[in-house]
């Protein structure tokens, strides 16, 4: 198998070739790094969101849309499946790189993180990369500039000519689609944090509703998190049992049960003040090969409907 960054670069090249069809814009920076606007200065699109989710997972996940109802309203849902959960979801898709310069802030996700490999999850999995390309998806309300590309190049050891920065705002069509594709990642990461070996997760399949685009980044963050915490369903197949499967879903006792914009406001949007249990999918089925099947958590259609304004 090629490296995550090389596989993601091939997908980025395809996105550049079909930029018009995907309604994305491509910008070359002074150092020849490429910024792909998936939903910052352009509105974003469903297909663009699906392609970006594939880029974030380095092509190791199948991502598609389906239709279902929430409170009798037909809504787009995103389905993601992968037989490489540790690599696709934790080593690649997960957000974990806080980008900051004098004039820019954003959150990086995608396979470029594996070139730095400073997060604990890389030690648990035993994975890191060296490559000539770095693909970092950036969640931001402004396009990355030369200073951002230089920072990414320096940390990854990749020349700026090999840096690719797909960018999207949370409050965009792309942002809503990409967020809905994170349900499986949240479940596998939560298991890992609880002490379960992520390499023992053999497959992951998930579905979540696509949130309506909110009017600003804060509202979009709350609404897309609601889509996962109250509307996401995940199925995992694992090869060993564990006594903490019931802690994977989003079931924080005090905070759970109301739209998260009010919860976030209670802590002045300081997510570090919130229990980590809140940031998970709503309902999870875990099949243990040769063992039991565990069904934990529950969806809350009423809360999703309230959050979405249905």
150-171 confidence digits (pLDDT tens): 999 999 999 999 999 999 999 9
pTM: 0.94
Query: Quick check: 251 pLDDT over 80?
Result: no
Say if residue 117 is exposed, middle or buried (CB neighbours under 10 Å; 0-12, 13-18, 19+): middle
pLDDT of 143 above 60: yes
Cα(26)–Cα(29) distance, rounded to whole angstroms?
10
Beta strands in 152-232 (DSSP E): 163-168, 201-209
User: Measured in whole angstroms, how far is the alpha carbon of residue 27 from the centre of its chain?
Assistant: 23
| 304 φ/ψ sector (left φ>0, alpha ψ -120 to 50, else beta) | alpha
**DSSP per position, 186-201:** HHHHHHHHTT--GGGE
Contacts of 74 (CB under 8 A, 6+ apart): 67, 68
Q: What is the pLDDT of residue 271?
A: 66
Q: What's the pLDDT tens digit per position in 277-307? A: 778 899 999 999 999 999 999 999 999 999 9
């Amino acid at each position: 198998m090629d490296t995550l960054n090389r596989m993601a670069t091939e997908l980025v090249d395809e996105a550049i070739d079909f930029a018009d069809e995907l309604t994305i814009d491509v910008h070359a920076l002074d150092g020849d790094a490429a910024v792909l606007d998936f939903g910052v200065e352009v509105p974003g699109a469903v297909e663009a969101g699906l392609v970006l989710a594939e880029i974030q997972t380095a092509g190791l996940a199948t991502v598609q849309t389906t239709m279902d109802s929430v409170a009798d309203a037909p809504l787009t849902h995103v389905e993601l499946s992968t037989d490489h959960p540790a690599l696709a979801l934790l080593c690649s898709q997960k957000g974990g790189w806080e980008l900051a310069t004098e004039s820019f802030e954003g959150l990086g996700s995608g396979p470029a993180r594996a070139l730095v490999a400073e997060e604990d999850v890389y030690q648990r999995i035993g994975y890191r990369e060296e490559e000539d390309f770095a693909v970092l998806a950036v969640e931001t309300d402004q396009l990355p500039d030369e200073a951002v590309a230089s920072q990414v190049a320096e940390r990854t050891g990749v020349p700026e000519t090999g840096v690719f920065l797909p960018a999207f705002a949370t409050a965009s069509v792309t942002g809503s689609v990409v967020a809905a594709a994170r349900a499986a990642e949240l479940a596998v990461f939560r298991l890992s944090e609880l002490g379960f070996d992520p390499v023992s997760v053999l497959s992951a399949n998930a579905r979540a509703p696509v949130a309506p685009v909110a009017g600003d980044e804060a509202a979009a963050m709350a609404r897309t998190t609601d889509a996962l915490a109250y509307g996401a369903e995940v199925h995992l197949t694992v090869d060993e049992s564990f006594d903490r499967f019931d802690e994977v879903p989003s079931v924080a006792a005090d905070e759970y049960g109301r739209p998260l914009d009010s919860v976030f406001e209670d802590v002045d949007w300081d997510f570090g003040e919130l229990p980590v249990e809140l940031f998970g999918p709503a309902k999870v089925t875990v099949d243990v090969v040769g063992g039991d099947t565990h069904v934990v958590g529950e969806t809350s259609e009423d809360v999703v409907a309230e959050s979405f304004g249905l």
